[in-house]
Amino acid sequence: MTGCLPGRLRPVVAAGLIAIACLLPARADARDQLAIGVTQFPSTLNPLIDAMLAKSYILAMAHRPVSMFDHDWNVTCRMCTELATFENGRAVATDAVDADGTPTGRRGVISRVTLRDDVFWGDGVPVTTRDVVFTWEVGRHPDTGVPDRQSFLDITRIEVHDEKTFSVVSSKLDYLYQASFGLLLPAHLEEAAFAEPANYRHRTLYQTDPTNPGLYNGPYRITAVSPGASVVLERNAHWKGQSPAFDRIELRTIEKTAALEAHLLSGAIDYIPGEMGLTLDQALSFEQRHGDRFDVVYKPGLIYEHIDLMLDNPILADLRVRRALLHAIDREAVNARLFEGKQPVAHTMVNPLDWIHTDDVRTYPHDPDRARALLDAAGWTTIRNGIRHDANGTRLALEFMTTAGNRVRELVQQVLQSYWREVGVEVTIRNEPARVLFGQTISNRAFSALAMFAWLSAPESLPRTTLHSNSIPAAGNNWSGQNYTGFRNADMDRLIDEIELELDRTRRAGLWKRVQQIYAEQLPVLPLYFRSDAYIIPRWLKGIRPTGHLAPTTNWIEEWRVE
């Protein structure tokens, strides 16, 4: 608006500009501090409430689980002395009983776990079995609204042997029996808040007094929270493990990725993590422009981008059409052109990094002629105005939905649309914001044909909720389950049940192979690719090791070093 100004005001403006110039950044690069820029702010810091990436990222610096998946995708102890296995005698299989003591007819397991002697809450109180029992009670209470309550309900009883040793009596013996317990709550602080379970999410000290040092047991504790903007962490005086490199870590939430990048370049933040930072194409472009100052590390992970097909749609109920759709698109080209080859094409939902992965499945290379032949065979033979019709004159038209506002998905969507047009399939795009798409359209199976989104999963995660025919959401079961496509396959159902109870790794591998083969044969879902995270790391920061699974890198923050 400066052009608007009459002559007398010009000096004022000039003075203003000089004043701005004087305010230029003068931040020294203090290497005992680290500023991390992320795109999300956590809705709460309570470990049990609201599963959210931003929370687990921050909390992993201040809070450690009893056991978790490590970099090699094996379960390891973080706060326990050793894992409970059948081999070392800490785990014993039994016949399961329910809460009243009546046998359920299934096999259960009792795992004896000992907490390490050197783990303390930030106020010096040792972490004990009391915390374990308290956490279990909060988790299983029907009114607290804890996600993943089922995992707490599977535990029928916790036997306390002493301050440090307890046995978990689980009603379910499955292949993941070792991963028995995650984050703990400090009973000595949180018991008061739990007096009103329905309001626990609001009364918890993580919400009302988040800087209380006693809430944290990791290398850092949270010392300042400004909602929506930033979280500050400082060293936890009672941490006995390896000492981390930084005195102070600040996490700043900057929602717009363009602003995030500008902040990084101006030095206001040091590092953008891959867990919730730049999109892949932005990172690729960033690397081209600033690769001299930053290391950009790409890590494909467990985020599986795919298109759910509505199998109730008569067009998609035909397997030939499903296969044709996949043959028609060039996923390799999309990967090469949009992502410079950094996002590996998926053939099934199982990531190649996962040990259960097999290459021995049917694949669908880009082959438009094959796609056309399959569509012809399916009866879509008449082509009018470039669109296929069947003998009754029905158009081969499909509606394609994804999350509005997710730029990369919307790009991919438009690319796929043009591939399908080339083989005579009319695809119309109708996108909805994530809150509508997931809150309603997909979960109520209200999409008519194609829905593109991603699954996040843990290593070797059983597709019970996504592929078992019991998990098809319907009004009758209040829309629970995530088998949105409506996939029904007796073999798949049987395999899922068998895998869950199979403790032998080799035999399990065989079952997993069949699961992947059926998936690739039947194509209830069009697999696209596994998403890669891009970590934008300053040259001087070393020791960040992405896991490829859901555990954020901050779980090993004490290994981060300045060089």
Partner 1 sequence: MTGTGQAWRRLRAYPSAVASLVLLAGLGLLVAAAPLLEAMLALDAARVDLFNRLAPPGPVHWLGTDELGRDLLLRLLHGGRVSLLVGLSAALCTAVIGAVLGLVSGFVGGRVDDLIMRCADALISLPLLPLLIVLAAVDPAKLGLPESVGNSANFSLYRIIAIIAIVGWPGVARLVRGTTLSLREREFVQVARALGLGPARIMFRHILPNAASPLLVATTLAVGNVILFESVLSFLGLGIHPPVPSWGNMLNGAQELMHQAPLLAVWPGLLIFVTVIGFNLLGDGLQAALDPRAAARSP
Partner 2 sequence: MLRFLLARLGQSAVVLFAMSFATYVLLGLMPGDPIDLMFAADPDITSDDIARLKALHGLDQPLIDRYLAWLANALAGEFGYSRLLNEPVFEVLAPRLANSLLLMAVSLAIAIAIAVPAGIHAALRPGSWSDQAINLCCFAGVSIPPFWFALLLILLFAVVLGLLPAGGMGHEGDGVLERLRYMVLPVLTLSAAAVAGYTRHVRSAMIEVMREEYIRTARAKGVAERHVVRRHALRNALIPVVTIAALDVGGLFSGALITETMFGWLGMGKTIYDAVMGNDYNLALVGLLLATLVTLLANILADIAYAWLDPRITYRRGAHG
Under the criterion CB under 8 A, does residue 41 sit at the interface with partner 1?
A: no
Number of residues that bind partner 2 (CB under 8 A): 67
**Whole-number Å distance between alpha carbons of 308 and 55:** 28
Q: Nearer to partner 2 by C-beta: 3 or 393?
A: 3
Q: How far is the CB of 429 from partner 1 (least distance, A)?
A: 5
Q: Is 411 in the site for partner 1 (CB under 8 A)?
A: yes
Q: How far is the CB of 272 from partner 1 (least distance, A)?
A: 13
Q: Considering only residues 151-180, where is the footprint of partner 2 by CB under 8 A?
A: 151
CB nearer partner 2, residue 24 or residue 391: 24
Closer residue to partner 2 in complex, CB, 239/453: 453
Q: Find the binder of partner 1 among 70, 390, 410, 500 (CB under 8 A).
A: 410
Instruction: Assess contact for 110 and 169: CB atoms under 8 A.
Output: yes
Angle, helix 407-422 to helix 331-339, in steps of 10 degrees: 140
Q: With respect to partner 1, which residue has the nearer C-beta, 85 or 440? A: 440
| Contacts to partner 1 from residues 381-400, by CB under 8 A | 399
Please give the structure tokens belonging to residue 131: 């915390």
Determine phi and psi for 111, rounding to 5 degrees: -115, 130
**Binder to partner 1 among 41, 220, 286, 512 (CB under 8 A)?**
286
The yes or no reply on residue 145 touching partner 2 (CB under 8 A) is: yes
| Residue 418 touches which of partner 1, partner 2, none (Cβ within 5-8 Å per kind) | partner 1
Name residues contacting partner 2, limited to 47-76 (CB under 8 A): 49-51
411 interacts with, out of partner 1, partner 2, none, CB within 5 to 8 A per kind: partner 1
Helix (H, G, I), strand (E, B) or coil at 395: strand
DSSP label at 345? Answer: B
Q: Which does 227 bind (CB under 5 to 8 A by kind): partner 1, partner 2, none?
A: partner 2
Tell me which residue of 536, 548, 539, 553 sits closest to 282, measured CA to CA: 536
Residue 257 binds partner 1 (CB under 8 A): yes
Which amino acid is present at 499? I
List CB contacts of 401: < 8 A, sequence separation 6 or more.
429, 430, 431, 432, 437, 441, 442, 447, 450, 451, 452
Binder of residue 263, out of partner 1, partner 2, none (CB less than 5 to 8 A by kind): partner 2
256 part of the interface to partner 1, by CB under 8 A? yes
Count of C-beta atoms within a 10 Å radius of residue 260: 24
> Does 252 participate in binding partner 2 (rule CB under 8 A)?
yes
- How many residues belong to the chain? 563
Nearer to partner 2, 57 or 298 (CB): 57
Interacting residues of 119 by C-beta distance below 8 A, sequence separation 6+ = 64, 79, 126, 127, 217, 240
- Residue closer to partner 1 (CB basis): 103 or 433: 433
Rounded least distance, CB 228 to partner 2, Å = 5
Q: Which parts of 119-199 are beta strand (E)?
A: 155-160, 165-170
* 282: partner contacted, choices partner 1, partner 2, none (Cβ within 5-8 A by kind): partner 1
The number of beta carbons lying within 10 Å of the beta carbon of residue 18 is: 9
Does 85 contact partner 2 by CB under 8 A? no
Residues 368-427 that bind partner 2 (CB under 8 A): none
- Residue 217 CA to residue 510 CA, distance in Å, equals 41
Kindly indicate which of the ranges 248-256, 383-391, 518-526, 554-562 contains the residues binding partner 2, using the contact rule CB under 8 A: 248-256
Please, which of residues 454-493 interact with partner 2 by CB under 8 A? 464-466, 471, 477-482
DSSP string, 234-294: EE-TT--SSPPS-SEEEEEE---HHHHHHHHHHTS-SBB-STTS--HHHHHHHHHHHTTTE
**Binding residue for partner 2, selected from 82, 95, 117, 148, defined by CB under 8 A:** 148
Residue type, 27: R
Q: What is the DSSP-derived secondary structure letter of residue 346?
A: P
The two three-digit tokens of residue 482, written as one number = 């995530």
18 binds, among partner 2, partner 1, none (CB under 5 to 8 A by kind): none
Helix (H, G, I), strand (E, B) or coil at 432: strand
Query: Which residue stretch of 196-204, 253-261, 382-390, 511-519 sits at the interface with partner 1 (rule: CB under 8 A)?
Result: 253-261
Q: Which two tokens stand for residue 65?
A: 């689980």
Q: What is the closest distance, in whole angstroms, from the C-beta atom of residue 480 to partner 2 in the complex?
A: 5
Per-residue contact track with partner 1, 427 to 466, x per CB under 8 A?
-xxxx-x--x---x--------------------------
Evaluate whether 356 touches 350 at the Cβ level (below 8 Å). yes
* Residue ranges of E strands in 20-102: 33-38, 67-69, 75-77, 91-97
Beta bridge partners of 115: 80
| Smaller CB separation from partner 1, 234 or 330 | 330
Pairing assessment for the beta strands 248-253 and 33-38 based on DSSP bridges: parallel
From CA 503, how far away is CA 280, in angstroms rounded?
38
Nearest alpha carbon to residue 330 among 432, 406, 235, 420? 420
Tokens of 554: 């901050």
DSSP-assigned letter for residue 30: -
Name the site residues for partner 2 (rule: CB under 8 A): 1, 3-6, 8-9, 20-25, 43-44, 49-51, 142-143, 145, 147-151, 198, 201-202, 207, 224, 226-230, 232, 250, 252, 254-256, 258-259, 262-263, 265-266, 268, 433, 435-436, 438-441, 443, 464-466, 471, 477-482
Point out which residues bind partner 1 (CB under 8 A).
256-258, 261-262, 279, 281-282, 285-286, 289, 333-334, 337-338, 399, 404-405, 407, 410-411, 414-415, 417-418, 428-431, 433, 436, 440
